[in-house]
Structure 1
């Protein structure tokens, strides 16, 4: 890019607007291309019109290693005389980040870098690039922060700006600039309120009927200088806005009126909310506003429905939590003072996400940051990507963190998931050094007995039996969880090495996987098949991560089913066990127990939040208690996708769509009815075309299925009580 990173000479009291006027230097324009990036988030306009549909660009990457730029075709926006303006807000670069306080971790000056290349029909080219000839001025955005919200003063809007402020060049390494791998963030649908009511204290509450991520926009006329304030939250408690889960995030937008007709849209922030509390609205003006849904521009690929409407709502909740948390990067939650790219959440959820949406480029972009952060940390995969915790220090209850099971395993599990989902080995080739670095680093952390039990672990995080203030205190021994996860990563890295032709690596990691399996048996499996901790997660991981021989697997499956029944078919697993327990039950012949666990409605269960009116997946099984009060723990969210990983089982076992080859080049259609379901259907857009399956129970209990496969895709149809059929 030919431009220079520029900033204002003096710090402004608002989000700065950079400006350049120019005229066309030749005749007809054949093409005009704008490449632009910023330190902070930007909005660019040519002659007052947006250059593209994106918002919050260039998003959040590991800025020390890579800064993305956006490319826009702006041919249609140019005239003889033109004005290019760029508004820059704090965003992730200079705004508040993390749950331990602090801001401006990457730098204290906002900046913009851009180059507009205009190609003319006569073969000439004109370049308008950022440099010190650009001017700047204040904007109508007098405060902006991702956590706290945005303040817009409509009185500051004027076409009579002096543009007297000079700019200067910032010291910036342009080699950090890189094009987007994944999609930009865009607006999606707008949602009208389902109700407007008064709270017990007399406050005006707007319910949009859906927990979403984005902002509220509206047009209003009122007295000059008066202020409308909109505060956001996901739930109500005692009829009032439930803001305690936000911790210290204000999640409040403020709008100061000009006295005329004002349109407001706070696009330099975002909120996770279903409810908005509105104050200061002009008394003589009808309340009229809408919520705008914002997330990365992902194409929906997979769907699912069945005869149980509660399961359908559960699935819709998974979809909405994916949308809300796939905003430029895969975050844990979109509402409180956190919104970080926790690796463990994605490690278990990636298969579900890859079915619901085309996440190939989106997650490849995030994995590029993971590899960069990991390389700078001597092979250690941080808890969050981008790694903001390295600037803040780890929380006090995370002593001397190093590689951590499930969380650091994202370096292996996510690329493998993308390979299985899309069949493009490029992702494995790109991420292979990162995958290898992870398992080799963990190899240095093993105890003399060969198990991974000597360093900090999250373990079976958020076990429902753990204390509310100590979510890591699970029933499953952390060493069992960590060693099982390491074994899985070794198997996947060995398979990747084989696929890529790295024979020596394949032999090395296969041998290490075998030794780890033996060590797991010696340390954690008794002769009669009892797995240490004797709890659901311990048996689940031993079964699903291939740590048991067939005879012991059958024994473990029986014990797992006993424990599930003893729990009253309520969930007894945490972060590690929950994504895999239904598969472990199904694999060992306990399909009925899997369905009973899935369809249980009492807390803790997947359907309990649905019965409580949830429209997204909760962080805790009991984020809201049965009496309607919010969980008293310091950490609770009503929009976390991790526990929604159960949808992967629903797609494969209820819907019946299973990949037999990467990218669904060959498939197994194997629906397994149960749980009182009478029909189900599933559809998936694959790289080869659309797969559709629908099945229905006949009066005699037999299953009739309709299957559509793309041309060139073969498969196996497996229905209960019938011989397998080649498709």
Structure 2
């Protein structure tokens, strides 16, 4: 039976707020094998029953089922549309209509009728209090409302209310962007919240990223000095008339009970100052003050259809601890980003004071030093009327533990719940195996993503930093994209990268860029500059290409192409005879082969810079080809060839040895295809020798670590790659697991074997960069690999790597076409491989280290020096083979 199980819009199940037709895709289900789509028909309607069609494609003979751009038809603003599709396949079957996928348009090309209004004055620039805004209006009683949508954004963080009800479930809106160039607005359906007659729309605003205290330099007012709201409520009546309620000077304002709210330092809320009913009609706002208008370029406004921050999970207290120093500490058992919600009873003026932190020290006491100047403190003053329930709204904390500094009455752990927040993304990756330590490592990698993908890809969620470091985001991008659907998330962040690039094409160290112009007291950055570090700035090229590889979406390449080209041209302009280096470089950051007291690894900067120069130039050339820009393709392909030749001349001796005898130098030379073919085996052997010099341990930093296992397994060193992954003493991934980590640490020895801490200056316990090894688990251990000639897993490569004394691995990836699943087991001397390929896709199955093929499920395997391979259509398969003696497995009966 043939069916379409899901329709997607820009990879999302629904979009609320778009300004152009989304890219359309769908997932096909069939009980048959080798299913390929033959035709499709798409319809778009303004009614869910499709009785009001605005578009019908007719039957289109095509195998294409993702990233489809409809021929343009005129979208109306503030309107809900529904899409559906039906298909036929190569077996003569036809599907029924798919479930519909809705989307809502934003303001579109209509001029915003509202203005940015503020409850603050310029004298409030150092103020971190919350403010309230409200507007009473009437809905015509004699008319019936057909629909009502509100479009809103803020300079600062806002929450919107209509008739006392919260509008939407988004948090920390409108998020953090390069505000002067790119300000997102959100769209909500509020039809069900409207009353006939009297209504009130209201908002609470906080400082947020816009004017708050941000960065390790602790500056504020990066983008402006006053919070402000822009709101446009569009009410459409069934008679065709329309009413708009907009933010203007008729609104009234007041201070909220939120006396203080800052992202790093937390919140202070006094419930005795709350004004009940302020969001409802009948409230007397005569003593509220007038608002002022803030001038802001509305051309920066862009609709955000998906990917907002939301409350995702709720976790109970795992344990109540009384420390040796007598502190009462709640342990939630998991390092995370979010809030603590509590229930409390007490007298008016009683307080709850909670301090959030990540780790206990060697003695089991509260450890706050690694937070640096961030307070992570929330304080709630009770109103004293029955049970009160509260959690922060305009900040968030990175924590596992909470010190309860004040709490009225008996402390009951059941009255506390941790609420996990992060950008809403579909979970796409699943990984489990017979080694529980690897399962915990995978868990830690996933929770590193959850903790740091809070609107922007932050380095860490707890201390006075939480910045969008480009290097961390680049390193982890592919891993993140196996774990979750990151297409929307990274497209948004890369737009800000494009806007924050220097006129010459340099890429700031952090996006959004709040370092430039604010680093006078940081010797590092004041002297070295705030942009264009290799491996960091290369996010401009590597991340868009990764999105294309994982999702097949050319739009992101089109949107970022000028930025990608700008970065490569920047390197070219500053290269000396094609060897590239520029000002401050982080190099192989925090590598263990660094000199004592240094963060900079031993691998020479010019080697690393030139290696990444070659890589980014290669990816730019490929991008130009994908986009049909043949002139650029030829130019940058030729440039990449020249760079590789210069790299080999400069950094390889005549005997074939690298001039830098570090693990990272050998890793990038192998993984970036910079090694002369004649010296490839020698380079791989030398990498293994360097590994053995450290008793099989890595000493790599940010740039070498992500590629280490790849460099080994791709060059005939699978056993060494497995051994490296499974090391469990310092330094290793599993050392952290054995130490009880629930996320990935910033340093291999963030907590030392004796329980003492690495330097408090830079010691996050939720720092995902080294979690990039997760990519190897999916691409190599499970063997779920994309094919760049058919991106988005239209054609997949299934090539698992059994080993590590495991006896099974079970993994899956929910691609845009459907689930790709791989399971291998070691049974009675054989490897039994089961896999599933989604409909309308194909795969090449590649097997290595095979002594003898067994059952092949009708697949026709051929043999070459590279191993055994076969082409598979969609469906489920089960094959087995006898591995050779190089494969180290634990067999079950």
| TM-score, length-scaled by structure 2 | 0.80
Match of 1:693 in 2: 822
User: Of residues 647, 654, 659 in structure 2, which corresponds to 1:527?
Assistant: 654
Is 1:479 the equivalent of 2:624?
no
Match of 1:150 in 2: 267
Is 1:717 the equivalent of 2:862?
no
Cα distance in 2 for residues equivalent to 1:328 and 1:352:
18
Instruction: Select between 385-394 and 284-293 the one with higher mean Cα deviation.
Output: 284-293
Cα distance in 2 for residues equivalent to 1:574 and 1:674:
25
Match of 1:17 in 2: 132
CA contact (8 A) 1:477 1:532 kept: no
Cα distance in 2 for residues equivalent to 1:382 and 1:147:
22
CA change 1:160–1:364 in 2 (3 A) is closer
Q: How does 1:12-161 map to 2 (within 5 A)?
A: 14-25=129-140, 26-80=142-196, 81-159=198-276
Q: CA deviation at 1:468?
A: 6.8
Q: Give per-residue Cα distances to partners, 1:395-429, cap 9 Å, x unaligned.
A: 31233335221111000000000000001111111
User: Of residues 793, 804, 817 in structure 2, which corresponds to 1:675?
Assistant: 804
SS at 1:580's partner residue? helix
Q: CA deviation at 1:453?
A: 3.5
CA change 1:103–1:469 in 2 (3 A) is farther
Is 1:350 the equivalent of 2:477?
yes
CA change 1:284–1:637 in 2 (3 A) is closer
Q: CA deviation at 1:581?
A: 1.1
CA contact (8 A) 1:468 1:633 kept: no
Cα distance in 1 for residues equivalent to 2:628 and 2:813:
31
Is 1:470 the equivalent of 2:598?
yes
Q: CA deviation at 1:718?
A: 2.2
Cα distance in 1 for residues equivalent to 2:315 and 2:744:
20
Q: Give per-residue Cα distances to partners, 1:446-475, cap 9 Å, x unaligned.
A: 123x21145321111110232574212x12
Match of 1:309 in 2: 436
Cα distance in 1 for residues equivalent to 2:255 and 2:417:
28
User: Of residues 322, 334, 347 in structure 2, which corresponds to 1:198?
Assistant: 322
SS at 1:663's partner residue? coil
CA change 1:478–1:169 in 2 (3 A) is same
Match of 1:213 in 2: 337
CA contact (8 A) 1:38 1:111 kept: yes
Q: CA deviation at 1:286?
A: 3.4
Q: CA deviation at 1:573?
A: 0.9
Q: How does 1:578-589 map to 2 (within 5 A)?
A: 578-589=705-716
Gaps of 5+ in 2: 1-111, 279-283, 854-867, 873-893
Cα distance in 1 for residues equivalent to 2:276 and 2:446:
43
Q: Give per-residue Cα distances to partners, 1:15-47, cap 9 Å, x unaligned.
A: 111001111025211110000000110011111
CA change 1:285–1:304 in 2 (3 A) is closer
Match of 1:496 in 2: 623
Aligned pairs, number: 723
Per residue, is there more strand in 1 or in 2?
2
The root-mean-square deviation of aligned C-alpha atoms, in Å, is 1.4
SS at 1:389's partner residue? coil
Match of 2:118 in 1: 7
Cα distance in 1 for residues equivalent to 2:161 and 2:596:
49
Match of 1:708 in 2: 836
Cα distance in 1 for residues equivalent to 2:330 and 2:482:
33
User: Of residues 564, 577, 580 in structure 2, which corresponds to 1:452?
Assistant: 580
SS at 2:767's partner residue? coil
| TM-score, length-scaled by structure 1 | 0.97
Q: CA deviation at 1:332?
A: 0.5
Q: CA deviation at 1:719?
A: 2.8
Cα distance in 1 for residues equivalent to 2:566 and 2:712:
33
Cα distance in 2 for residues equivalent to 1:274 and 1:400:
35
Cα distance in 1 for residues equivalent to 2:393 and 2:120:
25
CA contact (8 A) 2:340 2:391 kept: yes
SS at 2:259's partner residue? strand
CA contact (8 A) 2:332 2:401 kept: yes
Match of 1:600 in 2: 727
Cα distance in 1 for residues equivalent to 2:411 and 2:792:
55
Q: How does 1:303-702 map to 2 (within 5 A)?
A: 303-374=430-501, 376-393=502-519, 395-398=522-525, 399-401=527-529, 402-448=531-577, 450-453=578-581, 455-466=583-594, 469-472=597-600, 474-660=601-787, 661-700=790-829, 702=830
Q: CA deviation at 1:391?
A: 3.2
Structure with higher Rg: it is 2
Cα distance in 2 for residues equivalent to 1:587 and 1:173:
51
Gaps of 5+ in 1: none
Q: CA deviation at 1:182?
A: 4.7
Instruction: Select between 400-409 and 56-65 the one with higher mean Cα deviation.
Output: 400-409
Match of 2:303 in 1: 179
Is 1:229 the equivalent of 2:357?
no
